[in-house]
Structure formats: structure tokens, C-alpha cells
Amino acid sequence: MAVVKADLGACQGYANCIMGADDVFDIDDDGVVVVLRTEVEESERARVEAAARSCPVSALAVEDR
């Protein structure tokens, strides 16, 4: 298992992460990312990391727990 972290203050609502992994990320009415699941399986890690790399303000991180 890996843990997904979001810096809500940094998020600018570009929605790139959602396009990469909409089962893990969503956005609220104010345009701030919502992490739908904080834990992801190792098998999905590469895909979720790619979604995190697509964030223009580096607001997302996928870390070992």
C-alpha cells in the first residue's frame, strides 16, 4: 500500500490529476482537489504517480506508508 498526499493550499484546480486517476482524485465546488482514497495498492501505484506528476503545481505526492 502507498499513501496519497495532497497539499490543498497549493492546488490550483487544473484537474490534470483527475484526468489521470479519477478513481483517486476529484474536485470540489471551490476548485480544490479531493482525495477520494488515501491508500492505493502497489499495483495501481504507477498510474497514480503519473497522475501526481501531471499536477502543474506539484501539489500531490505518493509515498510509502
Partner 1 sequence: MARTVIVGASVGGVRTAQALRAEGYRGEIVLVGEEEVAPYDKPPLSKALLAGTATAKSIGMLPERAAIDAGIRCQRGRAATAVSLRERRVQLADGTAIEFDDLVVATGARARTSPWGNPPGVHVLRTLADAEELGAALRQGGPLVVIGAGFIGAEVASTAVGLGVREVTMVDPVEVPLSRVLSPGVASQVAALHERHGVTTRFGVGVTDVVPRSGGLEVRLADGSTLQAATVVVGIGAVPNDDWLDGSGITTDDGVVCDQFSRSVDDPHVWAVGDVARWWHVRQQRSVRVEHWTNAVQQAECVAHNIVHPADLRSHAPVEYVWSDQYDWKLHVVGCTDGDQQHVLVGGGAPERSFAVLYAAADGSFTGAVIVNWPKALVTCRRSLALGRVPLAQVRADVEALQPKSHGVRGAAR
If binding is defined by CB under 6 A, does position 60 make contact with ligand SF4? yes
If binding is defined by CB under 6 A, does position 24 make contact with ligand SF4? no
Three-state DSSP at 32 gives coil
If binding is defined by CB under 6 A, does position 27 make contact with ligand SF4? yes
If binding is defined by CB under 8 A, does position 7 make contact with partner 1? no
Q: 2-6 and 39-40: which strand pairing? A: antiparallel
**In whole angstroms, what is the distance from residue 33 CA to residue 6 CA?**
8
Beta partners for 1?
Answer: none
Q: Which residues bind ligand SF4 (CB under 6 A)?
A: 6, 11-17, 25, 27, 33, 55, 57, 59-60
